[in-house]
Structure 1
Amino acid sequence: MKLQQKNILIAPLNWGLGHATRCIPIIRALKENGFNPIIASDGEALQLLRLEFPELTILELPSYKINYPKKGMLFRWKMFLGLPNIISAVADEQKVVEKWIKEFQIVGIISDNRLGVRHSKVPSVYITHQLNVLTGLTTFFSTKIHQKFIKKFTECWVPDVDKKTNLSGKLGHFEQNDLNVKYIGPLSRFLKVKSEKKFDYLILLSGPEPQRTLLEQKLISEFKEIEKPVLFVKGKIEDQQKIHQEGAILFYNFMTTLQLEEAFSCSEMVICRSGYSSVMDLAHLEKKAFFIPTPGQFEQEYLAVKFQKEKLVPFVNQEDFKLQKLSNISDFKGFSSFTTETDWRKLFSLFERK
Structure 2
Amino acid sequence: MKQRILVAPLNWGLGHAARCIPIIKALFAHGFEPIIASDGAALLLLKKEFPEFSTMELPAYNMTYAKNGKFFKLKLIKDAPKLLKAIKAEKKAVAAIIETQNISGIISDNRLGVYNKNVPSVFITHQLKVLSGSTTWLSTKLHEKFIKQFDACWVPDTKGELNLSGKLGHDHSLDTPVTYIGALSRFEKKDSTLTIDLLVLLSGPEPQRSLLETKLLKELENYSGRIVFVRGLMENQQTVKHKGTLSIYNFMTSELLEKTINESRLVLSRSGYTTIMDLAKLEKKAFFIPTPGQSEQEYLAKQFTKKGFAPSCNQDDFSIKMLDDISGFKGLTNFNSEIDYANLFRLFQSE
TM-score range, shorter-chain basis?
over 0.9
Q: Does 1:201 align with 2:198?
A: yes
> Which residue of 2 is the match for residue 65 of structure 1?
62
1:213 is paired with a residue of what secondary structure? helix
> 1:60-112 CA deviation, whole Å, 9 max, x = no partner?
00011111111001100101111111100110011111111110000000000
Partner Cα distance (2:206, 2:323) in 1: 25
2:262 — aligned with what? 265
CA contact (8 A) 1:159 1:183 kept: yes
Amino acid at match of 1:293: P
Distance in 1 (CA, whole Å) between partners of 2:134 and 2:194 is: 45
What CA distance in whole angstroms lies between the structure 2 residues aligned with 1:294 and 1:174? Answer: 23
Which runs of structure 1 show a deviation greater than 6 angstroms over 4 or more consecutive aligned residues?
Answer: none
Structure 2 residue matching 1:26: 3-state secondary structure:
helix
Question: Paired residue for 1:302?
Answer: 299
Letter in 1 for 2:264: S
Map of 2:47 onto structure 1: 50
The residue number in structure 1 matching 2:227 is: 230
Deviation at 1:177, TM superposition (A): 3.7
Instruction: Calculate percent identity across the aligned residue pairs.
Output: 54
Q: Indicate yes or no: 2:85 matched with 1:77.
A: no
1:1-354 paired onto structure 2 within 5 Å = 4-174=1-171, 176-354=173-351
2:236 and 2:172 mapped to 1: Cα distance? 46
1:336 to partner: Cα distance: 1.6
Distance 2:193 2:299 in 1: 34
Q: State the alpha-carbon separation in 2 of the partners of residues 96 and 201 from structure 1.
A: 43
CA distance in 2, matches of 1:197, 1:332: 18
Shift of 1:248: 1.6
Structure 1 residues 162-181: Cα deviation after superposition (integer angstroms, max 9, x where no partner) = 10121100000026442310
| 8 A contact 2:222–2:320 mirrored in 1 | no
1:277-333: CA deviation from partner (whole Å, max 9, x where unpaired): 011001111000000000000000000000001000000111111011111110001
| Alignment-mate amino acid for residue 326 of structure 1 | L
Letter in 2 for 1:76: K
Return the TM-score normalized by structure 2: 0.99
Deviates more, 1:176-185 or 1:304-313: 176-185
- How far did residue 18 of structure 1 move? 0.4
Check whether the contact 2:200–2:269 (CA below 8 A) recurs between aligned residues.
yes
Q: What is the CA–CA distance in structure 2 between the aligned matches of 1:167 and 1:110, rounded to whole Å?
A: 22
Question: Secondary structure of 2:296's match?
Answer: helix
Unaligned runs of 5+ in 1: none
Residue 247 of structure 1: how far off its partner (Å): 2.2
